[in-house]
Chains A and B, each alone.
Chain A
Amino acid sequence: MTETLESSKLVGQPLKRKEDARLVTGETNWTDNIQLPGMLYMAILRSPMAHAKIDRIDTSRAAQMPGVVAVYTGADLAGLGIPCVWPVTDDMVGPTFPVLAADEVRFAGDAVAAVVADSRYRASDALEGIEVDYSPLPAVIDMTAALADGADLVHSDKGTNKCYYWEFTGGDYAAAKAKAEAEGGRVFHRQYIQQRLIPNAMEPRAVVCAPMAATGEITLWSSTQIPHVVRVLLALVTGIPEQKIRVIAPDVGGGFGSKLDLYREEVIAAVVAGKLGRPVKWTESRSEGYQATIHGRDQIQDIEVACTADGTLLGLKVDLVANMGAYLQIITPGIPLLGAFMYNSIYKFEALHFGCTGVFTTTTPTDAYRGAGRPEATYAIERLMDDLAAELGVDPLELRAKNWIKHEEFPFTTIAGLEYDSGNYEAATAKATELLDYSGLRAEQARRRESGDPVQLGIGVSTFTEMCGLAPSRILSALKYVAGGWESSTVRVLPTGKVEVVTGTSPHGQGHVTAWSQIAADALGVPFEDIEVIYGDTKMSPHGMDTYGSRSLVVGGIAVLHAAERVVEKARRIAAHQLECDPADLDFEGGVFKVRGTPGAEKAIQAVAFEAFTAHDLPEGVEPTLTADSTLDPNQFSYPHGTHLCAVEVDTETGAVVIRKYVAVDDIGNVVNPMIVEGQVHGGIAQGIAQALYEEAVYDADGNLVTGTMVDYLVPSAADLPHFTTDRTVTPATTNELGVKGVGEAGTIASTPAVVNAVVDALRHLGVHDMRMPCSPQTVWRTIQTAAGASSNSNGAQS
């Protein structure tokens, strides 16, 4: 291909996002903006207690309050529940999860009653008119205690707080350990804590449901990532026939996994709107969402590696305890297991043993949060690699280079059984160390240590990979997930030559409208502006598996490409017929079919579209309209990787941590729109830093959410974050035509361990070997104090 053709391609260009004018000005369609004639407003009464028997609910006073249309309790909506679609083991304990608690509340914020009134204010007022008598039951908060014999139970009828134990092995860990021990190597163990996080999408959840009594249809608008999945589940749960349900995800202001669910309020709104025959709206407030929308992470990670004396890794053993919360949302139990294949990361091991115990507590259910399983895995292995390097007295980059898969070894099948198609860890790491000035900062670190500077410098490393492009359906089947991982697209060239791209992905900030337009414009040779992308409405985009797990481009974007290519093939047959040549004699360039060797004999794809519309002169066997579908089930995952380096300054007097420099070199293969990639990387890093330094959802022993508002749950803003130095290396994926890998979660996965490693690195010479997240000033200061106390004690003992 010539230079000019290459540069005329739109894929790879930082085009401004088509959706931004609308989103930035707010002239758009958030669920809460929707107003329908006769609309009612719903408010949910939530349990103030973590765990209690409901002795009595009296709604009579509330029902009499001004504007109140109806009040529902668990008894009224009995039989309606949230299903778990990922029973990870045959003997998994899966409690019924009613949409309104009837007999017992099991977390602070558990839904107890629903009020429907003629205004949002009056619905809220009426919540105060509902009387509930609770008999307190013991809160179950601590995961380890919950698993002990005789523990108080979250679900007393289940006889246990254990949800499941799930195991996965590759190779023989015991043998690898024995080998390490026999050869004078090491067995190195660490325990890391993944604190509980609150996802905090910018737009809180909201639902509007409009019933159509005459036909039995309902239209449900929801601030969801997964309109297609919600439709199927809503049909299964409510019994409303699937063809009568239309789910629309209008503009959705972020999700990060928290809107990858079927929620109680969606079910209640659908059922109640049907009962009342009027549209019903529910909008979550921020503090309500802190209790009613899923939380993320919350795992205890025990990780052990066996290695030779020189640090060559042999075996890896991971034992997790993962907090499910009080109930299972749709994929709660599977989230920690998504990490099972990623603990070995970019390294070569002979053996892997992974076990995970899911445990119930009286807390808000957990589920997917940006990265879902993979940040946890990356955190543990990357923290361990820095710790092991320190233990061995080698540079952390050196230890990694010794153990990672070399670029010439791809494709490489890991000990977890995944085939990594491509990667170049050497190149990304070389670029990152140069951008950071790694050796310069190491020298400064030495000087500061030497001089006893109260502000110490630390450098943290994170070389990561992740599995993206969820997911090959056969692998989901093997994992007992009850749905597939395909994605679908339809491309239509309209009679006037304009184009509609229908996609089953459901963007909520990722810029699919722009990226899919770039892909389709290149494939069809039509202007970027001529393309409309249709999504997020089960009536207009009937087939889809929606957006999560960095899957949209790698699966959905390739489906767009395939559908567009099929359109071109159909157009080629029509053009050949009309130009009276063999289809194979046509070149397709810039949207025009040209008869090879006959200048002037040509037909543009827009003209072909009109011919396909009139259908006056189509070749034998070619049907009218210029449209084609593709439904793509990926054969493999994709494996983005990268090297993130972080330098922090730690004020040892106060414990304050300041990020001095942050370098991210990501290899996400080919790039469709570098500006969108940059945005994803920036946001991702910010979210990972948030876990490292700021955020933690805290329950007290009674099960109250102490971090109930943003005053206590600290989400950092731009003002708290450093400049990010970002760059890329490009090792195209070999598993899809565009060579793309996915970028939605990379920053979050990579950054958390880079930052915590840097904090620990700054303080290692003071005897600090670990730091619990978030590395808040108080935690850092106390850890330094404890280490100082320990070293003065041991000095005392020696002298």
Chain B
Amino acid sequence: MIPASFDYARPDSVETALAALAAGGEDAKVLAGGQSLVPLLRLRLAYPSVLVDLGGVSELRGVRDDGDALVIGAMTTHYEVMTNALVREHAGLLAEATGTVADPAVRHRGTFGGSLAHGDPAGDLPAVALAYGAQMVIAGSGGRRTVEAADFFVDYLQTAVGPDEVLVEVRVPKLGAGWGHHYEKFHRTAQAWALVGVAALVRRSNGSIAEARVGLTNMGTTPLRASAAEAALAGVDASAAAVASAADHAADGTSPSSDLHAQSDYREHLARVLTRRAVASAAGL
């Protein structure tokens, strides 16, 4: 199918973008890389009155070092994120997970900010942002506010970003030495979304696991932290057996959906297996 007609605005600053959104009213929509939005338009599942294309807002693009955190502009493409030297050095999990998103064509257009603002629990990056405890900077008519990742993902395809707001940048804390990471993505074809994904950050000290942060992709209507498994991992021996028994709790408290490719019980099973693998790998086991 092909989209219904819409107006198009291409602002060159965050301010003018906000103005365009305000002028467009309720049905105005931000266009970033278009990799999620354009398919919805083509299937006529969305009828925006105006698309406010952020492609011309250069201040939204790029990665900078801000001391204890990296600041990644919302319009930075997946390709730029995964190849950026700062990201690779300080946020290896993000670089790794971004490299699993779709295919090169999508990665050259799709953006980090778009992936988060879209709020699709099957996307790979929300769970990563959650595991890092990233902070989202959102601009609106009243100025800028910062939202913790834990509060950002509200529901299925719903985030803290209001319809008249723009996600501007994301602060990803530098974790420092001693942390290992791994993103374990389980999908049916190379281009497909994750049935389940597990983002693991693990800090080892003296032969044991001092701290583990585990983000889950596609285990509910929002990305989740596997809190029970994280708790079970804290302080245990960095051994395969200890990791395995902690990982058995990975699906505790989740209620994943059922669809054509995975029923909920299979997703829960995958979450346990993949958490074991992701944590073991992140712990260097």
Interface residues, chain A, with chain B CB atoms under 8 Å away? 120-121, 124-125, 128, 285, 287-288, 653-654, 656, 694, 698, 706-707, 709, 711-712, 714-717, 719-720, 776-778, 781-782
Contact = CB atoms under 8 A, between A and B. Distances in A.
A706 B258 CA distance: 13
B26 to A, nearest CB: 20
Nearest to B263: A778
A712 B5 contact: no
A782 B190 contact: no
A720 B260 contact: no
Contact of A719 (B4, B190, B193): B190
B189 A716 contact: yes
B192 interface: yes
B214 interface: no
**A-B pairs with the 4 shortest C-beta distances?**
A719-B190, A720-B189, A778-B266, A653-B273
A694 B269 CA distance: 21
A285 B262 CA distance: 27
Contacts, number: 60
Contact of A778 (B5, B44, B262): B262
A287 B1 contact: yes
Nearest to B47: A128
Contact of A287 (B4, B43, B266): B43
Contacts of B190: 717, 719-720
B50 interface: no
A287 B188 CA distance: 20
Contact of B188 (A653, A776, A781): A776
Nearest to A709: B43
A646 B192 CA distance: 24
A719 B104 CA distance: 11
Among A709, A714, A717, the most chain B Cβ lie within 10 Å of the Cβ of: A714
Q: Is the interface of B mostly helix, strand, loop or mixed?
A: loop
A781 B269 contact: yes
B273 A654 contact: yes
Contacts of A714: 188-189, 192
Contact of B261 (A121, A715, A778, A782): A778
A717 B190 CA distance: 8
A783 B155 CA distance: 34
Interface of B: 1-5, 42-44, 103, 186, 188-193, 195, 260-263, 266, 269-270, 273-274
Contact of B266 (A121, A717, A782): A782
Contacts of A120: 2
Nearest to B193: A711
A781 B260 contact: no
A777 B188 contact: yes
Given A121-B2, A654-B273, A712 B188 contact: no
A308 B186 CA distance: 46
A285 B1 contact: yes
A371 B128 CA distance: 45
6 contacts: A121-B2, A125-B5, A706-B260, A719-B190, A777-B186, A778-B266
Contacts of A709: 43
A124 B2 contact: yes
Q: Which of B2, B195, B261, B274 has the most CB of A within 10 A?
A: B2
A653 B271 CA distance: 11
Contacts of A711: 192-193
A698 B260 contact: yes
B6 to A, nearest CB: 11
Contacts of B188: 694, 714, 776-777
Nearest to A288: B1
A654 B270 contact: yes
B260 A694 contact: no
A288 B262 CA distance: 25
B5 A121 contact: yes
B260 A717 contact: no
A763 to B, nearest CB: 17
Give the one of B186, B191, B193 with max A CB within 10 A: B191
Contact of B186 (A125, A656, A782): A656
Contacts of A654: 186, 270, 273-274
A285 B2 contact: yes
A294 B261 CA distance: 23
A287 to B, nearest CB: 6
A698 B189 CA distance: 18
A703 B167 CA distance: 41
B191 A707 contact: no
Contacts of B269: 781
A288 B43 CA distance: 10
Contacts of A717: 103, 189-191
A124 B1 contact: yes
A715 B188 CA distance: 10
Contacts of B273: 653-654
A128 B270 CA distance: 42
A773 to B, nearest CB: 14
A707 B274 CA distance: 26
Contacts of B186: 654, 656, 777
A345 B252 CA distance: 52
Given A776-B261, A777-B188, 14 more contacts: A285-B1, A287-B43, A654-B186, A654-B270, A706-B260, A709-B43, A711-B193, A714-B189, A714-B192, A715-B189, A719-B191, A777-B186, A781-B269, A782-B266
A694 B43 contact: no
Contacts of B274: 654
Contacts of B263: 778
A293 to B, nearest CB: 15
A711 B42 CA distance: 14
A51 B3 CA distance: 27
A789 to B, nearest CB: 14
A654 B278 CA distance: 14
Contact of B4 (A125, A776, A782): A125
Nearest to A123: B2
Contacts of B43: 287, 709
Nearest to B43: A287
Nearest to A120: B2
Contacts of A720: 189-190
Contacts of B266: 778, 781-782
B244 to A, nearest CB: 11
A121 B5 CA distance: 8
A782 B267 CA distance: 12
A128 B44 CA distance: 10
Contacts of B261: 712, 776, 778
Contacts of B192: 711, 714
Contacts of A716: 189
Contact of A694 (B42, B189, B195, B270): B189
Contacts of B260: 698, 706-707, 712
Nearest to B266: A778
Contacts of A128: 4, 44
A125 B1 CA distance: 10
A650 to B, nearest CB: 14
Contacts of B42: 285
A288 B42 CA distance: 11
A777 B189 CA distance: 11
Nearest to A778: B266
Contacts of A653: 273
Residue in B5, B195, B260, B273 whose Cβ sees the most chain A Cβ within 10 Å: B260
Nearest to B274: A654
A125 B44 CA distance: 10
A644 B193 CA distance: 31
A287 B41 CA distance: 13
A499 to B, nearest CB: 42
A65 B179 CA distance: 62
A707 B270 CA distance: 23
Nearest to B192: A714
Residue of A124, A698, A720, A778 with most chain B CB atoms under a 10 A cut-off: A778
Contacts of B195: 777
A121 B4 CA distance: 7
B218 to A, nearest CB: 13
A127 to B, nearest CB: 9
B243 to A, nearest CB: 14
